Structure 1
């Protein structure tokens, strides 16, 4: 019977002479350093995304409404935007079946301020209605170029 190692496969010393010595893995200290570096990079990336996504963000919310008469409603709302941005908001007056009975687009221009808290401002706008409204809302807001 033949020995399979001697007939077809080269000896381990022949392989190391032909291809070089086998590579060693990273030391445990180097592995820990790579893991810590990867974690720091992931944390820095998360912070960068959080900050960059919050800059230039436009937010809006309803604050209140007043039904002035059968043909008028007033909507109070808050808009948070960068100081130099111009935004437009679509306001709706709704009846008791949630049908739109009045609509208006309001343009909100740049304003003065220097702190993060001053990015938010309160606004009030009057809408003419076709029928008596029961509520007023801010449907949407967008930035204007």
Structure 2
């Protein structure tokens, strides 16, 4: 063995290269564990939030009158929550021609159906729920 090779072997024996690889593996395992815990936390907390959200959907075609439109919709909300919805009437060009915020009665039922009549400024061909939300407790 040459003197350079013996010197390199002595340095490896003294300081060791294997410990550096173990450090890299430990660091990688720590990072993987932190990412796994963060992912589980996101799943857990997003599941809690979905229980308190309001869902809504339009049901059936709106009943059209001369200057009014009746919008039928279904709302799913936490029982006992105060909920409001923005309902709108649309023209053939999808312009808003009637709009109103409706405060829904409090109920212990989770899913309920509603029918709301809107006055319009122009002939409406469609009606829809724009958005629903839980009102703050008074």
Give the TM-score band, short-chain normalised: 0.5 to 0.7
Larger radius of gyration: 1
Residue 61 of structure 1: aligned partner: 57
Residue 111 of structure 2: aligned partner: 120
Root-mean-square deviation (CA, aligned residues, Å) is: 3.4
Is residue 144 of structure 1 aligned with residue 126 of structure 2?
no
Give the TM-score normalised by the residue count of structure 1: 0.63
Q: Specify the SS of the correspondent of 1:48.
A: helix
Structure 2 runs not aligned, ≥5 long: 20-28
Q: Specify the SS of the correspondent of 1:136.
A: strand
Deviation at 1:112, TM superposition (A): 1.8
Is residue 100 of structure 1 aligned with residue 96 of structure 2?
yes
Residue 132 of structure 1: aligned partner: 123
| Residue in structure 2 matching 1:85, options 52, 66, 81 | 81
Deviation at 1:53, TM superposition (A): 2.7
Runs of 4+ in structure 1 deviating by more than 6 angstroms, as ranges, are: none
Query: How many pairs align?
Result: 122
Deviation at 1:104, TM superposition (A): 1.1
Structure 1 runs not aligned, ≥5 long: 24-33, 114-118
1:5-29 deviation digits (Å, cap 9, x = unpaired): 8xxx99x9xxx9x99xx98xxxxxx
Give the TM-score normalised by the residue count of structure 2: 0.66
